[in-house]
Amino acid sequence: MDNAEQEIENSNLKLLVGTHASGDEQGIYQLDFNAETGELSNSEHLVKEDNSGYLYLSKDGKRVYSSNGTKPGSVSAFEWNEDGTQLTKTSNFSSEGDGACYIELSPKEDLLAAANYGSGGIVMYPVDEKGNIIDQPDAKQHVGTGPHKNQKSAHAHCVKFSKAGDFLYAVDLGIDKILAYPIDSDDKLGKVHIALQLDPGDGPRHLIFHPTKNRVYIINELGSSVVSANVDTETGTFTRIDKKSTLPEDYDGDNACADIHLSNDGKFLYASNRGHNSIATFSVSDTGQLNLLGTESVQGDWPRNFSLSPDNNFLLVANRKTGNITVFKRDASSGLLSFTGHEAKLPQPVCLKFR
C-alpha cells in the first residue's frame, strides 16, 4: 500500500448506528465516514435487533454490546467475523427490568452493566476473557419520586464505571440522584450510597468523566442544564462546582436534554437539546466552571445521541424523529460548530459509535 492509499484508508472510518426502528428496518447499521470531508456514505443494515438503543464497543474492536429498550429489556453481545464485515449475535440476556437504555463495559472489560429506564433499576453481569456475557446477573432496584410529571418512579438512565473500576455509578432521572455502588472483591455490587443529590426536578440523564482530572459532568434532561462536579476517588462521592442552562435565555418552549460529550482536551463541553433541537457548546475552565458559548441547530428533530469523531474535527448528531444523521465541523480553538451540509438518512437513529 503506497502513501496515497494509506491516507485514503486512514480517512475512511466506520460508524455504527443503533436505532429505534421497527419491523424489517430495526437493528444496527453501519456507515462509512470520510474524516477529511465529513461525508457519510454506504449505508448498511448489519443486523436485526429490537430497539437497540445504545451500543458499546470492546477495546479490541471484536465485539459490540447493545442495550435493548424492550419490555422486558435485554442486553445482547455481537461478534465480528474475521474480516470485520459481518456482525453476529452471540448472546442475549434479560436486563432484569424494562426498557434497557444504556450499557457499558468495566475498564478491565470483565463486567457489563446496563440501566433500565422503564423499571428504574440496574444490572451487572460478569464477562469472560472471550467477551461473552456470563448469565449471573446482579440486579438492583431503585425507589423514589421527584416533582416533575416524568418522575413518578425511579428511571435509571445511565451506568458508568469509575476510571479505576471500583465503583459503578447509576444516573437516575426519576429520583434526581446519582448513586454509587462499590464493586467488591467478588465483583458484586456493594451497599449503595448517594454520590450526588441533584436539584428537585433536574432529571439527570447521562454523566461523563474528564479525561485527566477527577471531575465529572452531568446532563439534566428535565431541567435542561449541565452540572460539573469534583470526584472523590476514595469515597466515590461528587462535590458540585457549577450548573448552567443549555438553552438561550430567550427560549421558552419545551425541551429535554439527551447526550453530553467533552472534547479530548477537556476544554469544551457539548450537550444536545431535544425540542430546541440544538447542540449547546460550553467552554470549561481548569476549575470546572462552565460558560455557554452558543447553540447550533442540529438540522433535524429530536437529537438523541451524538459523537465527536476520533480526531475531534467533526461532531455527528443522531436526529431520531427526522431520521437523519447530520455532520458538523468543529473549530478546535473556539469549540464552535458549523454545519457541513453532509447528512445521511436512517430510520430513527439514536446512538452513534465509531469503530
- Encode pLDDT of 250-285 as tens digits: 999 999 999 999 999 999 999 999 999 999 999 999
Under the banding of pLDDT at 50, 70 and 90, the label for residue 6 is very low
Give the helix/strand (H/E) hosting 6. helix 3-11
| DSSP-based three-state secondary structure for 9 | helix
Find where cell 453481545 sits. 77
Report the relative pairing of strands 28-34 and 87-94 from DSSP bridges.
unpaired
Q: 301, 329, 308: which is closest to 265 by C-alpha?
A: 308
| DSSP-based three-state secondary structure for 19 | strand
The answer to whether the beta carbons of residues 69 and 100 sit under 8 Å apart is yes
- In this predicted structure, what is the pLDDT of residue 278? 98
What value does the mean pLDDT take over residues 317-327?
Answer: 98
For residue 24, the 8-state DSSP code is G
Spacing of C-alpha 223 from chain mean position: 18
- In this predicted structure, what is the pLDDT of residue 10? 65
Above pLDDT 70, what percent of the chain? 97
Under the banding of pLDDT at 50, 70 and 90, the label for residue 9 is low
| DSSP-based three-state secondary structure for 327 | strand
What CA–CA distance (Å, rounded) separates 335 from 313? Answer: 10
pLDDT of 167 higher than 90: yes
Above pLDDT 90, what percent of the chain? 97
- In this predicted structure, what is the pLDDT of residue 87? 96
Count the residues in the chain.
355
pLDDT of 135 higher than 60: yes
- In this predicted structure, what is the pLDDT of residue 158? 98
